[in-house]
Chain A
Amino acid sequence: GENVEQHPSTLSVQEGDSAVIKCTYSDSASNYFPWYKQELGKRPQLIIDIRSNVGEKKDQRIAVTLNKTAKHFSLHITETQPEDSAVYFCAARSSGSARQLTFGSGTQLTVLP
């Protein structure tokens, strides 16, 4: 089955700096890669997603890049703000028979004021 690895597990940045979180996946048949943000005690919320026919996608300060050859995708947050502090999860979904989301282990992002 699919395996998703996420790095780093914790990340601290100064307010205004950029943050990058990286994920690798194992199943070359995976075709959908969402990113979720989870604040303490709250539900995971989708912040951006990318499909395998696209190499990059941006939404204001957030961008995701996908390298299908290397089987990795990354989340980029620019001009970080304290409210960006949360746990971020990457996920991958295979187009094969087992079509559930497989999540990475999460990255605790702390933006220092």
Chain B
Amino acid sequence: KAGVTQTPRYLIKTRGQQVTLSCSPISGHRSVSWYQQTPGQGLQFLFEYFSETQRNKGNFPGRFSGRQFSNSRSEMNVSTLELGDSALYLCASSLTGPDSGNTIYFGEGSWLTVV
């Protein structure tokens, strides 16, 4: 069974640009959540989608957005990139939702560098 797949794995963007990251959850998993990992702030929750609906949102500015498609694949978008957005963006999936007690599995992440 394939794990959580994220693309692209590495990317470099310029300040002011926008970026879209993609995540394919484990087959059968309907919940997808996104986390930002930085050395200074650790792992911080961005948002969670279930059945194409955003169920939870972390404390990030509106430049960070996401969506989920009918096949449970998810994308997150960051507009007007800032240097501080440089981070590892991790996608995680679970069978139903994080609030159901099911294990959360992480993808390998997308390394974003903003220059």
Contact = CB atoms under 8 A, between A and B. Distances in A.
Interface of A: 32, 34, 36, 42-46, 49, 51, 89, 91, 93, 95, 98-106
Interface string B41-69: 01111001000000110100000000000
A48 to B, nearest CB: 11
A95 B109 CA distance: 27
16 contacts: A34-B103, A43-B109, A44-B90, A46-B104, A91-B43, A95-B99, A99-B55, A99-B97, A99-B99, A100-B33, A100-B45, A100-B58, A101-B45, A103-B42, A103-B44, A106-B43
- Tell me the interface secondary structure of chain A in the complex: strand
Q: Could you say which of B55, B58, B98, B99 has the most chain A C-beta atoms within 10 Å of its C-beta?
A: B99
Contacts of B104: 34, 46, 101
B108 interface: yes
A100 B107 CA distance: 17
A99 B43 contact: no
A43 B45 contact: no
A35 to B, nearest CB: 12
A48 B98 CA distance: 16
Q: Could you say which of A98, A100, A101 has the most chain B C-beta atoms within 10 Å of its C-beta?
A: A100
B45 A44 contact: no
Given A43-B106, A43-B109, A49-B103, A99 B42 contact: no
